[in-house]
Amino acid sequence: MVLVLIATIGNTLGAITTWFLGLCAAKKFPLENLLPKNKQRAIDWMRSWGKWSLLFSWLPVVGDGFCFASGWLKYPLITFVLFVTVGKFCRYALIAWLLVEG
């Protein structure tokens, strides 16, 4: 259980860094002027599914896009941390359970 908590905290801190980078990018580069419509997948997904998509921030490749997009869209940090932490904890808890039970 300790390993699950450590992995969750470390991975969440990395996601917060990515959220912050998205927030910084939003200040310097307005979204509508920067990306063509066909390259805004993570942004469109965040606009459609909102904070619920952050439960999947653990997914390879697209997970970082969700974190970056939520910063760019200026999601509140508290909401971001809550949903990302829950998603990442569930992932690590499932992996730990599968390893112990298997």
Q: Is residue 34 situated within a structural domain?
A: no
45 in any annotated domain: yes
Q: Is residue 54 part of a domain?
A: yes
Q: Quote the pLDDT of residue 28.
A: 86
- Residue at 56 is within a domain: yes
In DSSP notation, 8-66 reads HHHHHHHHHHHHHHHHHHHHHS-HHHHS-GGG-HHHHHHHHHGGGGGGGTTSTTHHHHH
74: containing domain: 2-28+39-101
Tokens of 37: 């419509």
Residue 33 lies in a domain: no
> In this prediction, what percent of the chain has a pLDDT beyond 70?
88
So what's the pLDDT on residue 37? 67
Give Cβ neighbours of residue 99 (< 8 Å, ≥ 6 apart).
none
Cα(57)–Cα(15) distance, integer angstroms: 8
71, part of any domain: yes
Q: At residue 43, does pLDDT exceed 80? A: no
Greater model confidence, 38 or 83: 83
Residues of 40-55 as b/e, b for ≥16 C-beta within 10 angstroms?
bebbebbeeeeeebbb
pLDDT cut 90: percent of the chain above it: 59
Q: What is the pLDDT of residue 62?
A: 85
In a domain, 88, yes or no: yes
Residue 90 corresponds to which tokens in the numbers above? 């569930």
Residues 70-86: tens digit of each pLDDT: 998 899 999 999 999 99
Are 66 and 54 spatial neighbours (Cβ–Cβ below 8 Å)? yes
* Domain assignment present for 47: yes
Domain tally for the chain?
1
Instruction: Output the pLDDT for position 32.
Output: 65
